[in-house]
């Protein structure tokens, strides 16, 4: 998927797949995680992201394909021989050992005698120096989470695997830990592979995100790239919200595709269309809610020429401080979502008002109309 130089610390998955009987958890996939990057595997539960992670850790034997760390093929190595450590979902701290011994566990297993200095340093890094002699159950969720990170990081693994590490924390603590983990990763420079179902978490933390769905990688790229240029309806709906309109290709002029949606025309830059768009064919036109400007129908004349526009009626509004979210009932899309920053509020924009939605054609993206238009909506909304 991503080609990088064959550097010594990359994680390379080649044709790796996992089947349980007749169920395919992970379809054969190729993935390269560059050394020192913060990589996220993002997807809803059951999409195969955790299985992929466990195959890298050695906790799951792949049905096919190979796992390499740098130049070393580790596919058939047991977990205790891999230079990889995992931060488990719900931490899996050893309940019978205190924090110090939990963190020292990996060092001791590798035969190190004097571990005190290293453990103390690591506990300081995660700000738990005071808690060294407590048992895991005496710590709060956030503290346990930091112990789990420290216990893995102290071994200086080539790769740190994080399996939904923040899933058990409340929202505020999760945000805090996201920044904390990002800070630690920058500080130690180890490759992090982070599995999560929280798209916001993946986007804030990772350099590269692989969106997985149904045991396949749907799309891989930087968070901004995935958000701006989704290639499938799943990615468009799972990452944030997208308004998708079914349209027919009318004509092509140079770099632009002109589409017919309902009575109106929409313009889509050819470069942003992920589907073949022959004249007469069908395409899904996508636009993010925050890219849209809302104008009352009375002022329609003031809208600059050259913008894509759609007419509709406001069905509902919700004021959320920073912005107002509108749901627009339009003939081409029943629930068109629009987010407007609360800078200058137009008092006429209330439910029932006729409005014109318009946006710059440059913000429009096109997707293959053969897919399920609602793919990823449920999974994305549930978060």
What is the contact surface with another protein in residues (CB under 8 A)? 57-59, 78-81, 84-86, 88-90, 92-96, 105-106, 109-110, 135, 137, 151-152, 155
CB of 100 to another protein, least distance (A): 14
CB of 47 to another protein, least distance (A): 20
CB of 16 to another protein, least distance (A): 19
Which residues does residue 273 pair with via DSSP β-bridges, in sequence order? 366
CB of 137 to another protein, least distance (A): 8
CB of 117 to another protein, least distance (A): 19
If the CB atoms of residues 135 and 307 are measured against another protein, the closer one turns out to be 135
Q: How far apart are CA 287 and CA 306, in angstroms?
A: 16
| Contact partners, residue 130, CB within 8 Å, separation at least 6 | none
If the CB atoms of residues 91 and 227 are measured against another protein, the closer one turns out to be 91
Per DSSP bridges, beta strands 282-287 and 243-253 are: antiparallel
Beta strands in the chain (DSSP E): 11-20, 23-33, 38-42, 64-69, 72-73, 84-87, 159-163, 191-196, 208-213, 216-221, 243-253, 256-261, 264-269, 282-287, 293-296, 308-319, 323-330, 336-341, 354-359, 365-368
If the CB atoms of residues 87 and 226 are measured against another protein, the closer one turns out to be 87
If the CB atoms of residues 116 and 183 are measured against another protein, the closer one turns out to be 116
If the CB atoms of residues 88 and 339 are measured against another protein, the closer one turns out to be 88
CB of 91 to another protein, least distance (A): 8
Q: How far apart are CA 196 and CA 169, in angstroms?
A: 13
CB of 258 to another protein, least distance (A): 56
Q: How far apart are CA 355 and CA 23, in angstroms?
A: 49
Sign of CA dihedral 58, 69, 85, 18: negative
Question: Do the Cβ atoms of 86 and 163 come closer than 8 Å?
Answer: yes
If the CB atoms of residues 92 and 173 are measured against another protein, the closer one turns out to be 92
| Contact partners, residue 317, CB within 8 Å, separation at least 6 | 324, 325, 326, 327, 349, 350, 351
If the CB atoms of residues 105 and 359 are measured against another protein, the closer one turns out to be 105
Question: Do the Cβ atoms of 338 and 313 come closer than 8 Å?
Answer: no
If the CB atoms of residues 78 and 334 are measured against another protein, the closer one turns out to be 78
Residue recorded with tokens 């004509």: 251
Which residues does residue 367 pair with via DSSP β-bridges, in sequence order? 284
**Structure-block tokens of residue 22:** 């007749």
Distance separating the N- and C-terminal Cα atoms of the chain: 28
CB of 201 to another protein, least distance (A): 21
Q: How far apart are CA 63 and CA 124, in angstroms?
A: 41
**Structure-block tokens of residue 230:** 């989704």
If the CB atoms of residues 25 and 257 are measured against another protein, the closer one turns out to be 25
CB of 338 to another protein, least distance (A): 45
If the CB atoms of residues 86 and 185 are measured against another protein, the closer one turns out to be 86
Cα Rg of the chain, angstroms: 25
CB of 89 to another protein, least distance (A): 8
């Amino acid at each position: 998927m991503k080609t990088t130089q064959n550097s010594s610390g990359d994680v390379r998955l080649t044709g790796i797949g996992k089947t349980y009987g007749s169920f395919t958890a992970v379809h054969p996939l190729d993935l390269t995680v560059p050394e020192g990057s913060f990589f996220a595997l993002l997807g809803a539960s059951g999409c195969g992201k955790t299985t992929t992670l466990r195959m890298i850790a050695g906790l799951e034997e792949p049905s096919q394909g190979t796992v390499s760390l740098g130049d070393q093929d580790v596919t058939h190595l047991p977990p205790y021989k891999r230079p990889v450590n995992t931060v488990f979902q719900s931490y899996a701290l050893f309940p019978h050992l205190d924090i110090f011994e939990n963190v020292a566990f990996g060092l001791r297993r590798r035969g190190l005698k004097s571990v005190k200095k290293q453990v103390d340093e690591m506990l300081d890094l995660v700000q738990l120096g005071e808690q060294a002699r407590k048992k895991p159950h005496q710590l709060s969720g956030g503290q346990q989470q930091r112990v789990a990170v420290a216990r893995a990081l102290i071994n200086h693994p080539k790769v740190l695997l994080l399996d939904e590490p923040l899933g058990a924390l409340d929202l505020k603590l999760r945000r805090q830990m996201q920044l904390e983990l990002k800070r630690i990763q920058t500080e130690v420079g180890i490759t992090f592979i982070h599995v999560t179902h929280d798209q916001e978490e993946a986007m804030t933390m990772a350099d590269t995100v692989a969106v997985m769905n149904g045991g396949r990688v749907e799309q891989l790229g930087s968070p901004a790239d995935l958000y701006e240029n989704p290639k499938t309806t799943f990615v468009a709906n799972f990452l944030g919200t997208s308004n998708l309109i079914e349209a027919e290709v009318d004509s092509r002029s140079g770099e632009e595709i002109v589409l017919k949606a309902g009575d109106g025309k929409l313009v889509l830059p050819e470069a942003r269309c992920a589907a073949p768009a022959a004249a007469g064919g069908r395409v899904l036109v996508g636009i993010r809610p925050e890219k849209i400007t809302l104008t009352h129908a009375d002022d329609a004349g003031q809208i600059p020429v050259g913008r894509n526009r759609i007419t509709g009626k406001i069905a509902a509004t919700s004021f959320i401080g920073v912005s107002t979210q509108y749901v627009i009932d339009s003939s081409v899309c029943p629930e068109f979502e629009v987010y407007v920053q609360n800078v200058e509020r137009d008092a006429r924009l209330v439910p029932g008002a006729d409005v014109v939605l318009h946006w710059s054609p440059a913000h429009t993206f096109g997707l293959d109309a053969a897919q399920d238009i609602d793919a990823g909506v449920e999974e994305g909304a549930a978060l």
